[in-house]
Structure 1
Amino acid sequence: MSPSASSDPVSLLLVEDNPGDVRLIEEAFKSAGFATTFHTVADGDAALEFLQTEATADSGPDLDLMLLDLNLPRTGGFEVLETIKNDPELASLPVLVLTSSEATEDVVKSYELCANAYLTKPTDPDAFADIGRAVEAFWIDEATLPSVPS
């Protein structure tokens, strides 16, 4: 069952170090019109700490999706993907890479590390709303997402 089929908001982990992009992404999802709870961290270390806490917690927010920038301080996005891929507790978490890189090698490496989608950040702030609507249309309204242990 998709998260929008229940009354619970969609729970997203946003891993993004640029405060301006955080604001644009949060506004994009808000303008898409579905209830979203954002858990935001600014680097790969904080993302992995959050995920490890999430995976071992008896209670706490269940995550529906993770939006991951690749270019992060400390632990980078590729290392975060690799850790998720190799952790049975986290491997089913859908990860959408949302980054400024259009490099073919970044796209290929992201999919090799089991990213579920690769989205390039738009350069036009208004185009972020299109990303929010696209994620809602597919990942929230259409796709059946796994339950990630919490």
Structure 2
Amino acid sequence: MQRDRTVGRPMEILLVEDSLTAARLTMATLRGGHLQHRITWVPNGEEAIEFVFQRGKFSRAPRPDLILLDLGLPKRDGREVLQEIKADPDLLQIPIVVLTASTSEEDRIVSERLKVESYLTKPIDMNRFLEVIKELSRFWRADMILPGPAASSQQSG
């Protein structure tokens, strides 16, 4: 019996944002974009690091498929979070989209050097944001496609 040809796991998104209003807007936009996803919201850089490195209360956290990162964060600055994630070989490949109020050219340059997928300045054009996420989703889904005809002829037992 053939089932959906993609693995049924939704995209795991980590949203690192200290503003409840911005977090709600981001989550609503993602819901409205009809992307299969699960989102975890953390309000500061310290919790972001604990989450991605699966420490403390996040020891059983899923590995994010995508990180949406504000730069101006309490407890641990988003710039530090970005550098720490990109310095770790096991986390280096996780795509990061920076969502920031910073208009600093230096922040943009440093982020680009660290190979973020996109750098969006607040207030964010939510249509552009959704385009970026959908594009990243296509790449993520490509990794989730099951192999050719042999997979579709297998029956679950």
Amino acid at match of 1:51: V
1:135 aligns with 2:132: yes
| C-alpha deviation, 1:132, in angstroms | 4.5
Q: Quick check: 1:92–1:146 contact (8 Å CA) kept in 2? A: no
Counterpart position of 1:91: 92
The change in CA–CA distance for 1:107 and 1:132 in structure 2 (over 3 A counts) is: closer
1:30 aligns with 2:31: yes
Report SS of the residue matched to 1:33: coil
Q: Equivalents in 1 of 2:115, 2:12: separation in Å?
A: 20
Q: Equivalents in 2 of 1:103, 1:77: separation in Å?
A: 14
Amino acid at match of 2:108: V
Q: Quick check: 1:78–1:113 contact (8 Å CA) kept in 2? A: no
Counterpart position of 1:51: 52
Q: Equivalents in 2 of 1:58, 1:17: separation in Å?
A: 22
- Moved segments of 4+, more than 3 Å: 57-60, 142-147
Q: Quick check: 1:18–1:42 contact (8 Å CA) kept in 2? A: yes
| C-alpha deviation, 1:27, in angstroms | 0.1
Deviates more, 1:106-115 or 1:133-142: 133-142
TM-score normalised by structure 1 residue count: 0.79
Counterpart position of 2:118: 117
The answer to which structure, 1 or 2, has the higher relative contact order (CA under 8 A, 6+ apart) is 1
Which one has the largest radius of gyration?
A: 2
The change in CA–CA distance for 1:8 and 1:132 in structure 2 (over 3 A counts) is: farther
Tell me the matched-pair count.
Answer: 137
Q: Equivalents in 2 of 1:34, 1:64: separation in Å?
A: 13
Structure 2 unmatched runs, 5+ = 1-5, 145-157
Q: Quick check: 1:15–1:42 contact (8 Å CA) kept in 2? A: yes
Structure 1 unmatched runs, 5+ = none
Deviates more, 1:136-145 or 1:13-22: 136-145
TM-score normalised by structure 2 residue count: 0.76
The change in CA–CA distance for 1:32 and 1:23 in structure 2 (over 3 A counts) is: same
**What is the RMSD of the two structures over their aligned residues, measured on CA atoms?**
2.5
